[in-house]
Structure 1
Amino acid sequence: MTSVAQILKSKTEPQPGENRPVVTITADASVYEAVKMMAAHHIGALVVLDGTEIAGIVTERDYARKIVLMDRSSKTTPVRDIMTRQVRYVTPADSAEQCMALMTTHRMRHLPVLDNEQLIGMISIGDLVKTIITDQQFTIQQLEHYITGVRT
């Protein structure tokens, strides 16, 4: 069973001496700034901070539903007006299966990862799908080796 810690480790490794930062934004920033940051980092969600505390999460889905469909201006609307305030999160010890169940139940695509109340990462549904496929491929290989008698 793959853990969230393993998933975070398998994501793109940072350069030596560089942290793997979680991209965040403040609640006062404009939605336009948030969408611009998401595009620049090729991500679909940002954790919204109030100082060092998590105030919410804003996603591309929030933009589509709460700005575009409501004919609002992304340049004048603050992130606080469209962010989800109740943030569900996981810990490094949680499993990929637990994350998938949480995402499925609550119809969400991104989960912040907290360790001792500190934001250390973010996992997406894409990260989980990649992990599950990798795990299944490994299981298939092991079964094929078992059936054919080939040892690795």
Structure 2
Amino acid sequence: MKTVAQLLKLKASQNQQVHTIKPDQMVLEALMKMAEKNVGALPVVENGEIVGVISERDYARKLVLKGRSSVGTPVKEIMNSPVITVDSHQTVETCMGIMTDKHLRHLPVVENGQLLGLLSIGDLVKEAIAEQAELIQQLEQYIRGE
């Protein structure tokens, strides 16, 4: 299985950069940024350190359903914190296990205190499927004697 570092390298080649937001910015700003960048979550960064994650799910459950306003609510009031992170040496399989056990859809990758990337469950599932397809192809070639 590939490591997180290898997966991030593939994402980087597709010009995937990490978009972040600050804890004191308003939720509306976070929503606008998520819509503009076509992402479902943003790491919340303060003084260069990740302090939380805000997602569309947080917005729906912690703001909309409670009748609160996205204009006057800071991100820090609805973000998920503390943040569960992984380093770049973890495998895709390990990350999938963490995300399943903790019911996460987004997993920040941090190395030496620096945010390197954000993996979605979709990124991991896509990679797992690609690896399985490759294994099937190799087994079929073996069976055919190629």
- In the alignment, the residues of structure 1 paired with residue 114 and residue 17 of structure 2 have an alpha-carbon distance, to the nearest angstrom, of 12
Q: 1:7 — aligned with what?
A: 7
Q: 2:105 — aligned with what?
A: 109
* Alignment-mate amino acid for residue 68 of structure 1: V
Matched residues, number: 146
Q: Which runs of 4+ in 1 moved over 3 A?
A: none
Q: 2:89 — aligned with what?
A: 93
Residue 21 of structure 1 deviates from its aligned partner by: 3.3
Q: 1:43 — aligned with what?
A: 39
- In the alignment, the residues of structure 2 paired with residue 21 and residue 146 of structure 1 have an alpha-carbon distance, to the nearest angstrom, of 39
Q: 1:147 — aligned with what?
A: 143
- In the alignment, the residues of structure 2 paired with residue 43 and residue 58 of structure 1 have an alpha-carbon distance, to the nearest angstrom, of 11
* Alignment-mate amino acid for residue 47 of structure 1: P
For the 8 Å contact 2:49–2:115, the answer to whether it is kept is no
For the 8 Å contact 2:49–2:113, the answer to whether it is kept is no
* Alignment-mate amino acid for residue 78 of structure 1: P
SS in 2 for 1:92: coil
- In the alignment, the residues of structure 1 paired with residue 86 and residue 138 of structure 2 have an alpha-carbon distance, to the nearest angstrom, of 30
* Alignment-mate amino acid for residue 8 of structure 2: L
The answer to whether 1:84 aligns with 2:61 is no
Residue 14 of structure 1 deviates from its aligned partner by: 5.5
Q: 1:21 — aligned with what?
A: 17
Summarize deviations over 1:87-114 as a string: whole Å, max 9, x none.
Answer: 0001110000110010000000101111
Tell me the percent identity: 50
- In the alignment, the residues of structure 2 paired with residue 61 and residue 13 of structure 1 have an alpha-carbon distance, to the nearest angstrom, of 28
More helix by share: 2
Residue 149 of structure 1 deviates from its aligned partner by: 1.1
Could you list the runs of 5+ residues in structure 1 that have no partner in the other structure? none
Aligned residue runs from structure 1 range 102-141, under 5 A: 102-141=98-137
Could you list the runs of 5+ residues in structure 2 that have no partner in the other structure? none
SS in 2 for 1:24: coil
TM-score between both structures, scaled by the size of structure 1:
0.92
- In the alignment, the residues of structure 2 paired with residue 120 and residue 12 of structure 1 have an alpha-carbon distance, to the nearest angstrom, of 10
SS in 2 for 1:2: coil
